[in-house]
Chain A
């Protein structure tokens, strides 16, 4: 069984550039999450999709971060324009039916973004 696949593993961008991170969830999973991970803030939720519908867009991350789920097996996270403070690991996770049923999350290996 394939897990969550994230590409690329590493991304280096100049300040002001647009970057797109990609995620393929576990096949059959209905819920998809994007997180940003830093040592200081830990895991911060950016977006949450349920059956391709955006359920949460991460409040403070709205202005330059946009996640989309074009089909049930592919999601993108666009950061436009990038800023040095966006340097972090971006994690994608999926779950069969998270809701209130307490299903576990399956995480990808993440994309490490460095903005110069």
Chain B
């Protein structure tokens, strides 16, 4: 049973549009989340982490965490074709366990 559920499985957005990816945890022990991006033929690369409730912005990427609802999202504004990739979220806690979601495939259409 996966402790981290991601949605949607696949998402298509036009170039310049906003992409929104979601991640929900079933474990209240999770204290932080990481977002990773994986381009075809490569390993995942870390995008950003979020530990506190609210928004965290890094360039075109904004992560939002709501600990009460165990929900974290990633918003990509002004999406570019190079953003087309598989996106994972990872939840973790002081217990040191790694739990990845199954991923969202993002396609940015030029």
Residues of A whose CB lies within 8 Å of any CB of B are: 4, 6, 33, 41-43, 45, 48, 91, 93, 98-100, 102, 104-110
Contacts of A106 in B (CB 8 A): 46
- Give CA–CA (A6, B39) in the complex, Å: 17
* Interface size band for B: 20 to 34
List residues 75-93 of chain B with CB under 8 A from any CB of chain A. 88, 90, 92-93
A110 touches B95 (CB 8 A): no
Residues of B whose CB lies within 8 Å of any CB of A are: 2, 31-32, 34, 36, 41-46, 49, 51, 88, 90, 92-96, 98, 100-103
Select which of A41, A42, A45, A109 is within 8 A of B43 by beta carbon: A109
Contacts of A93 in B (CB 8 A): 43
Known contacts A4-B43, A93-B43, A109-B41; is A33 also within 8 Å of B94 by CB?
Answer: no
B44 touches A107 (CB 8 A): yes
A102 touches B49 (CB 8 A): yes
Contacts of A48 in B (CB 8 A): 98
- Give CA–CA (A102, B2) in the complex, Å: 20
Instruction: Tell me, rounded to whole Å, the shortest Cβ–Cβ distance linking A26 to chain B.
Output: 12
Contacts of A4 in B (CB 8 A): 43
